Amino acid sequence: MNANLIEIFSSVQGEGRYVGCRQLFVRFEGCNLNCKYCDTENQAGTHPLCRVETFPGSRKFSDVINPLEPTEVAAYINRFLMELPHQAISLTGGEPLLHSPFLQELLPMVNARVMLETNGTLPDRLARIIDMVDIISMDIKLPQATGEEHWEEHRRFLEIARKKDAYVKLVVSGDIHMGDFQRALELVAEADPGILLILQPVTPLNGVKGALPEQMLELQQQALEVLGDVRIIPQTHRMMDQL
Ligand code: SF4
């Protein structure tokens, strides 16, 4: 089982609970959603080559031909880990769970903590690899971002994910629909009111309206009425000009 990857590189985690940690990013091609604010090339079959950093943090890359085998990717990851300690490897995308059969082969060969960055809509695929994952950064996607409802998938996903070190991330735009925001809060609170919720002000792309500072405070206040730990964290890697 091979997979198309976009890139493998070492950088700083810019979002969520582990912001600031040095991580090794493995970015998979393709996504099952099409969010308005997407900042990644999320179409399958558009990357004949994967770029691999030559040394962790060097920002120098060499190209390798897609698709890659799990043993090849494991060799790159383990070489990076030998060269520099990383807090975790981050499986990102796109949507890495689209490649769950690949991950089932890859992850037993990797000697590191594994963080999964996911849109939280593929619970059956998560169930197949949950034992090989340590940290889960799960998005809740509001219907206005994707044009679709994913409440039931999110509910089932969170039920599985919460057995691990999991937190939920919700991207907030300036025109957020409050009914959907409330529904997202209820979904998380019903699963576990102790789960960390990150409110991430959207990086305004593709005409998406940014959220105002006072609006973010109001949303955090509302979320704190039903959840114990609610933090506002933007995409910090963009501020630092990191990858
Ligand atoms: S889930 Fe992530 S990668 Fe997929 S379209 Fe949305 S923002 Fe882009």
154-212 tens-digit pLDDT: 999 999 999 999 999 999 999 999 999 999 999 999 999 999 999 999 988 778 899 99
> Could you tell me which residue, 137 or 208, shows the higher pLDDT?
137
Q: What is the pLDDT of residue 130?
A: 98
Is residue 42's pLDDT more than 80? no
120 lines ligand 1 (CB under 6 A): no
| Tokens matching residue 134 | 């340590």
41 lines ligand 1 (CB under 6 A): no
Residue type, 175: D
Q: What is the CATH number of domain 5-240?
A: 3.20.20.70
Phi, psi of 22 (to 5 degrees): -75, 125
Phi, psi of 193 (to 5 degrees): -65, -10
33 lines ligand 1 (CB under 6 A): yes
34 lines ligand 1 (CB under 6 A): yes
Q: What is the pLDDT of residue 83?
A: 97
Q: What is the pLDDT of residue 99?
A: 98
9 strand-pairing partners: 25
Q: What is the pLDDT of residue 203?
A: 86
Is residue 41's pLDDT more than 80? no
The rounded distance, in Å, linking the Cα atoms of 19 and 30 is: 24
Percent of the chain at pLDDT exceeding 90: 89
Residue 198: is it exposed, middle or buried by C-beta count within 10 angstroms (0-12/13-18/19+)? buried
Query: Residue 128, SS3?
Result: helix
Percent of the chain at pLDDT exceeding 70: 100
35 CA distance to ligand 1 middle (Å): 5
Query: For 7-130, where are the alpha helices, taking DSSP H only?
Result: 70-83, 100-106, 123-129
CA distances from residue 87 to 10, 50, 115 in whole angstroms, order as listed:
11, 23, 10
The rounded distance, in Å, linking the Cα atoms of 196 and 168 is: 6
Which of 38, 171, 235 to mutate for ligand 1's pocket (most ligand atoms within 8 Å of CB)? 38
Predicted TM-score (pTM) of this structure: 0.96
Per-residue burial over 143-172, b = 16 or more CB atoms within 10 Å of its CB, e = otherwise: eebbeeebbebbbbbbebbbebbbbbbbbb
